[in-house]
A and B are shown apart, each in its own frame.
Chain A
């Protein structure tokens, strides 16, 4: 069970609010959450529920209004911007819905730009990048192309390679298939599954059930808190049981 696993992130009394004029809009408040090593955690919720905001608060990409986020006994909420950047470079990988590859660089260069930060030997980085490109099924000729010259699926898979090139503790993905067609979505999700099977911890935000099925732990955000949690177990491609369990859970949550 999840609670027997090692905790990577411990969030305590998290609050995130935005102030617009005289009005304060609270996204979540008094939120406690643990993230475990090796889990493929999926965050679901209705639009505007604050699932992305929660994920970015956990990753150090955004600062919560109050509360504490502790990674392996290290509090990141008090770090300066530059220290947070260094922290992210060592611990986090990000995959975005809009992909956000650097458009004037080839897919390979995008990946190596990220690897340059790890301080790893360049030859080893190139070798590892090639392995990852193989893993996500992007042929060598495509790796040399610019983002605007490849399909959305290929670009997103390259985005995943860039996110994991520095072997992050957690891979964060925000609606990674949101802008992709069905075939491309499946290919991208397969990559996430492969990475999870290899031991990669993942936090993924989605409102898509098919995508959520790839995770082993589903959190449902509602009314500014973790409204419910569902343990789906290990993903298999044709598990009717997992699908039913997720459907029941989401119905229960008011999805």
Chain B
């Protein structure tokens, strides 16, 4: 044992810097993998714990108060598997929050009375003002974090054009709603403020039924049963949310992040395996004499294999532990970012299971593949190694004989060197190819978020005009005329959203006079509705419906049949939406409903001016105006910021890995070719020639891999992005794979590689011809 330990120490000391470089790559892998593992293990349980702690209802149905009755309550209560029921009155309305992260933010909002007694859907006040404030309001964590509202800040809600100013008295955490993705948010008002609002908007009063279901129940079935029970009473539910859908929406980004981090870590792990194999094979080749001497002295093959494998296992384990430790400095940052998106706060703690799994995976995979490479030594007879028969066996064919091959001799020497270093070049090819996937991924993301932001935004958002004008009921035509005469306006469209019921499902409906003119066509299959009896359904319906089917749509208690023309997507509504023609939507009413006017400008920079102008100049015609271009650009800026950080991080990590890989490769190469380089120098080759020749022996392979991977990215990158977007519920994305941009990133990667290689090859200058004499 002591003998092996000495041998292991000797191997570690001999290639100290290479092992450290290898260790750093393992450290990065462990850091990323542990972040993914901890999030995977803890976010879900943190969510469930908080869900339980706040006694959150598993089903929540909201109905108009005017339609509510004790019979309805009884019907819901008697639904099979419903364990407990609790009802609360509230105000539900579309409301616009002013200066939400610098823009206007419109969302369906439920206003609750904070003083209501609750046994279900409790909330936790995470931050509360110590002072008494005017018009207090308690906002959810999501609105506070994402909208940028702190305690004692003023927050203005605009409902039907009327401004309501509140002061943030507290921030609450609840598990019933949560984030923008649900299409519904909540706020809490003290008794007096709630009563005042309820008086003003009695038509928007709702009753919420919160239910807990029995543990053996199927949530989907109970949801269907509750929907039927409500429908049977002739009531139209405004919303039925189940806890699983809420959880899915709130943890969607976390799941996606875990997926990306894990994929990223596995790619780097694959690179580490290539690298350790290369190093082991190289070590066997250059150390065969020493190993044969050890064999001749009586060391067993197993002992020698252990002395090669164990240093990698030890280094992997040590640096994996270090990386796991470091990941706990990154995790709080990730948690705070995820808290903003998920709308619930959570902190991660040391996770023993993740620690053991990550350390074992990294150490195990590296040890296994190192062992596979090292066990070849078992077949080597000591005498073959001592006579140097191993290396001569490899030299069987003289590729590009200088005498017979046409071409410049120095160029042919580079080609010969490439052939002579086949194993190294295969490894470099694979590593470069794989790392280019990361670069191509970040390059594509950069292009679609920063260079062509519409591509990315259109995948995540619904229809976004530059300005939205809410006309008074009889002023639509007059406003349309004015907009038509305004040379700053390209066109305007009548557009509106409402809550409708399709079969048993309550969804958001978007109605437009002409969907072919919208900027963001969300229809990914079939066609948008044109006629009064046509409908395009959200992706949530795709499983059970097909184009040509007839569906029943209920609005305000009136049910009509529509023919499905296509399917549309919405990341925010989880596919639970539909599109109707304006004519189709109005067919439910005796009188046409007042739509919003979506205004598209010649120059979006005028949005702010036009928003203010129409609001102030046409008070008789306009209820409210929204600068949605600003909202869009704010969101765009946020995505751009995140993307730039992500792209720079991926690029930096990739370059760091490339640096360490090239360091290990070049260092091994210089050790292995030390004598050869001395011979070249004795012949009169200059250091510069040898640096270029050495760099030239592996750079072309790396360059080919980078260019090939970048080129193939045109084919594989759409699939990767399609997969990611589908995870988000986006079936059709406009992500563009820019060949020019991929090549630009490839060239940047190649230039960085060349630069690093030349710098790392500089020690060739220190190898003198005199090395031959001294050795």
Contact across chains for B773 and A174 when beta carbons are under 8 A apart: yes
Contact across chains for A61 and B416 when beta carbons are under 8 A apart: no
* Residue B93 CB within 8 A of the other chain: no
* Residue B409 CB within 8 A of the other chain: yes
Using CB atoms, name the residue of chain A closest to B419: A104
Contact across chains for A103 and B683 when beta carbons are under 8 A apart: no
Q: How many angstroms from the CA of A102 to the CA of B391 in the assembled complex?
A: 13
Contact across chains for B685 and A52 when beta carbons are under 8 A apart: no
* Residue B485 CB within 8 A of the other chain: no
Contact across chains for B401 and A144 when beta carbons are under 8 A apart: yes
* Residue B770 CB within 8 A of the other chain: yes
Using CB atoms, name the residue of chain A closest to B400: A109
Contact of B682 among A61, A109, A146 (CB under 8 A): A61
Using CB atoms, name the residue of chain B closest to A106: B398
Nearest-neighbour CB distance to chain A for B669, whole angstroms, equals 13
* Residue B549 CB within 8 A of the other chain: no
Using CB atoms, name the residue of chain B closest to A87: B684
Contact across chains for A149 and B392 when beta carbons are under 8 A apart: yes
Q: How many angstroms from the CA of A113 to the CA of B203 in the assembled complex?
A: 93
Q: Which of B392, B420, B682, B685 has the most CB of A within 10 A?
A: B682
Q: How many angstroms from the CA of A94 to the CA of B403 in the assembled complex?
A: 22
Q: How many angstroms from the CA of A61 to the CA of B390 in the assembled complex?
A: 32
Contact of B409 among A52, A85, A112, A166 (CB under 8 A): A112
Contact of B685 among A62, A85, A106 (CB under 8 A): A85
Which residues in B have their C-beta under 8 angstroms from that of A100?
Answer: 675, 678-679, 682, 772
**CB proximity to A under 8 Å, residues B747-775:** 765, 768-770, 772-773
Nearest-neighbour CB distance to chain B for A232, whole angstroms, equals 26
Contact across chains for A117 and B395 when beta carbons are under 8 A apart: no
Q: How many angstroms from the CA of A7 to the CA of B720 in the assembled complex?
A: 74
Contact of A89 among B391, B676, B683 (CB under 8 A): B683
* Residue A98 CB within 8 A of the other chain: yes
**CB proximity to B under 8 Å, residues A49-91:** 52-53, 56, 61-62, 81-82, 85-90
Contact across chains for A102 and B679 when beta carbons are under 8 A apart: yes
Q: Which of B388, B420, B679 has the most CB of A within 10 A?
A: B679
Contact across chains for A109 and B685 when beta carbons are under 8 A apart: no
* Residue A126 CB within 8 A of the other chain: yes
Contact across chains for A61 and B773 when beta carbons are under 8 A apart: yes
Q: How many angstroms from the CA of A76 to the CA of B772 in the assembled complex?
A: 20
**CB proximity to B under 8 Å, residues A94-124:** 94, 96, 98, 100-106, 108-109, 112-117, 122
0 or 1 for each of B665-699: is its CB under 8 Å from A? (1 = yes): 00000000001101111111111100000000000
* Residue B519 CB within 8 A of the other chain: no
Which residues in A have their C-beta under 8 angstroms from that of B675?
Answer: 100
Q: How many angstroms from the CA of A85 to the CA of B680 in the assembled complex?
A: 10
Q: How many angstroms from the CA of A148 to the CA of B388 in the assembled complex?
A: 9
Contact of A85 among B392, B676, B686, B772 (CB under 8 A): B686
Contacts A100-B679, A122-B409; A82 near B688 (Cβ below 8 A):
yes
Which residues in A have their C-beta under 8 angstroms from that of B680?
Answer: 102, 113
Nearest-neighbour CB distance to chain A for B278, whole angstroms, equals 18
Contacts A98-B772, A109-B398, A144-B401; A86 near B682 (Cβ below 8 A):
no
Contact across chains for A81 and B684 when beta carbons are under 8 A apart: no
Which residues in A have their C-beta under 8 angstroms from that of B398?
Answer: 105-106, 109, 144, 146
Which residues in A have their C-beta under 8 angstroms from that of B769?
Answer: 61, 85, 88, 94
Nearest-neighbour CB distance to chain A for B561, whole angstroms, equals 80
* Residue B162 CB within 8 A of the other chain: no
Nearest-neighbour CB distance to chain A for B496, whole angstroms, equals 77
Q: How many angstroms from the CA of A116 to the CA of B769 in the assembled complex?
A: 18
- A contact face: mostly helix, strand, loop, or mixed: helix
Contact across chains for B684 and A88 when beta carbons are under 8 A apart: yes
Contact across chains for A113 and B765 when beta carbons are under 8 A apart: no
Contact across chains for B402 and A113 when beta carbons are under 8 A apart: yes
Contact across chains for A88 and B395 when beta carbons are under 8 A apart: no
Q: How many angstroms from the CA of A166 to the CA of B684 in the assembled complex?
A: 11
0 or 1 for each of B644-680: is its CB under 8 Å from A? (1 = yes): 0000000000000000000000000000000110111
Q: How many angstroms from the CA of A56 to the CA of B772 in the assembled complex?
A: 11
Which residues in A have their C-beta under 8 angstroms from that of B555?
Answer: none
Which residues in B have their C-beta under 8 angstroms from that of A129?
Answer: 403
Which residues in A have their C-beta under 8 angstroms from that of B683?
Answer: 88-89, 94, 113-114, 117, 162
Contact of A117 among B676, B684, B687, B768 (CB under 8 A): B684
Q: How many angstroms from the CA of A106 to the CA of B396 in the assembled complex?
A: 11
Contact across chains for A116 and B413 when beta carbons are under 8 A apart: yes
Contact across chains for B684 and A85 when beta carbons are under 8 A apart: yes
Which residues in A have their C-beta under 8 angstroms from that of B409?
Answer: 112-113, 115-116, 122
Contact across chains for A105 and B684 when beta carbons are under 8 A apart: no
Q: How many angstroms from the CA of A108 to the CA of B684 in the assembled complex?
A: 18
Contact across chains for A62 and B773 when beta carbons are under 8 A apart: yes
Contact of B770 among A62, A112, A166 (CB under 8 A): A62
Contact across chains for A146 and B402 when beta carbons are under 8 A apart: no
Contact across chains for B403 and A108 when beta carbons are under 8 A apart: yes
Contact of B765 among A81, A87, A92, A112 (CB under 8 A): A81
Q: How many angstroms from the CA of A82 to the CA of B416 in the assembled complex?
A: 24
**CB proximity to A under 8 Å, residues B683-735:** 683-688
Contacts A61-B769, A62-B773, A104-B416; A112 near B403 (Cβ below 8 A):
yes
Contact across chains for B679 and A82 when beta carbons are under 8 A apart: no
Q: How many angstroms from the CA of A210 to the CA of B453 in the assembled complex?
A: 84
Which residues in A have their C-beta under 8 angstroms from that of B676?
Answer: 102-103
5 sample A-B contacts, Cβ–Cβ < 8 Å, listed by A number: A82-B686, A102-B676, A108-B403, A126-B403, A146-B395
Binding site for A on B (CB under 8 A): 388, 391-392, 395, 398, 401-403, 409-410, 413, 416, 420, 675-676, 678-688, 765, 768-770, 772-773
Q: Nearest 8 pairs between A and B by C-beta?
A: A89-B684, A116-B409, A148-B392, A112-B402, A82-B686, A85-B686, A88-B684, A114-B683
Given contacts A82-B688, A109-B416, 20 further A-B contacts (CB under 8 A): A53-B773, A56-B773, A61-B682, A62-B770, A62-B773, A82-B686, A86-B684, A86-B686, A87-B684, A94-B769, A96-B682, A100-B675, A103-B395, A103-B676, A104-B395, A114-B683, A114-B684, A116-B402, A144-B398, A144-B401
